[in-house]
Amino acid sequence: MMSIKEIHEEVKKCMYCGFCEFPCPTFNALRSRAYGPRGRINLIKALIENGFGQGKDVGLNSDVINPIMTCLHCAACDTQCPAGIRIADVIHGFKAIILETILK
């Protein structure tokens, strides 16, 4: 499983170009940035930089959980990312950390 530190190193590489959004099935179905890879990666980045996973209660709610948990881990986005971010694995790893936090 990826650590918070490893996930942060990956999401910090995002240039916000949006190339990853075009092949994403959930983005195309819902037409909402939060439900695409760029939105998910930057949501994860914001959560970590606000202290999530480092002892701070950043208030997990459906606005945070739903976009991340609905990723299908299909990795269609990975092939498009010029920064080489392992997008699907990052989101998958962060799902596990959310579940660990909720089930504690």
Q: Which residues bind ligand SF4 (CB under 6 A)?
A: 14-20, 23-26, 37-38, 40-41, 71-77, 80-81, 83, 85, 87-88, 91
* Inter-residue contact 71 to 36 (CB < 8 Å): no
To ligand SF4, the closest distance from the beta carbon of 64 in angstroms equals 15
Residue 72, Cβ density class (10 Å: 0-12 exposed, 13-18 middle, ≥19 buried): exposed
Contacts of 5 (CB under 8 A, 6+ apart): none
To ligand SF4, the closest distance from the beta carbon of 56 in angstroms equals 25
Q: Is the Cβ of residue 7 or residue 91 nearer to ligand SF4 in the bound state? A: 91
To ligand SF4, the closest distance from the beta carbon of 87 in angstroms equals 5
